[in-house]
Amino acid sequence: MSEPVHVTGQWQTADGLTLSYRDFPGPADAAGRPPLLCLHGLTRNGRDFEPLIERFAADWRIIVPDMRGRGQSDYARDTASYVLPSYIADVELLLAQLELNRFVGVGTSMGALILTGIALGGRDRLAGVIINDIGPEIEADGLERIVEYVGQGRSFPTWMHAARGLRDQAEVAHPDFTITQWLAMAKRLMCLSGNGRIVFDYDMKIAEPFASAGNPGAETETPAPAAASGLWPGFEAFGGRPGLVLRGEVSDLLSAATVDAMTRRIAGLQAVVVPRTGHAPTLEEPAAQAAIAALLARIG
């Protein structure tokens, strides 16, 4: 399936990086609706949202950035900047450049944590929010699994080898995937390097803040469970507007108990479990797409 029509743009960060985004304009009448701002996870890039783009770009404007160190965006000169405050500041600059005063935030894992910072900086900008498999309490097992694979720098000779390597790494999260689905995911998460090998499409040095802090969760995608209570204010800032939290049924990062607490404490938040899926749902699952469509119908 060909990618919907879009434009590619760039913006500058405070420390001089050039970052990239894609803007899918949607139909002519999309100007009357808030756009979807889609923020990806720690080791992902904007292509991670291809299933959502294919499903919803015909009706909604969708803006998909590559965060620093990922995809078409510059790698950071100072690897210590691969932390949540930098990502939040980068997105704020993009919002200012695009003059986006109201939007629907869609965040997968780290992307949702970025949205909490955006909400704390001005919650009225959020017309709605979609949280993909992350919450204010982080499970230790999921955090440890992330630490094990981030920054490993594996490479593959062919796309089929890449698909099988990805399956070996993530089969627990997608037990029903066919090799065709693993191949499609590999092409979203990886790219062809200059030496002809296929590699993950992010700066391996994003792992350095983990080690330098001496704490796998310090100021990174997923703060350590001991400090997770500090995330509640950001998530509670999502309250009072249409909200959706998606949880993979077998997620090792977001527990059912945390989702229950979120729906009690965050006004307007609804929860949907994506069957036989772990961290994180790809947003191509029928349950995820139906839930997102229902959320967007609440917005307009």
What is the H or E stretch that residue 8 is in?
A: strand 7-12
Sequence ranges of the domains in the chain: 7-149+215-299
Mean pLDDT of successive 10-residue stretches along the chain, which has 300 residues: 87 98 92 94 97 97 98 97 97 98 97 98 96 96 88 94 96 97 98 96 91 40 47 97 98 98 98 98 98 94
What pLDDT is recorded for position 32? 86
7-149+215-299: which CATH number, 2.60.200.20, 3.40.50.11540, 3.40.50.1820, 1.10.10.10? 3.40.50.1820
What pLDDT is recorded for position 218? 36
Burial 254-277 (b: 16+ CB within 10 A, else e): bbeebbebbeeebeebebbbbeeb
What pLDDT is recorded for position 229? 57
Dihedral pair phi/psi, residue 228, rounded to 5°: -65, -30
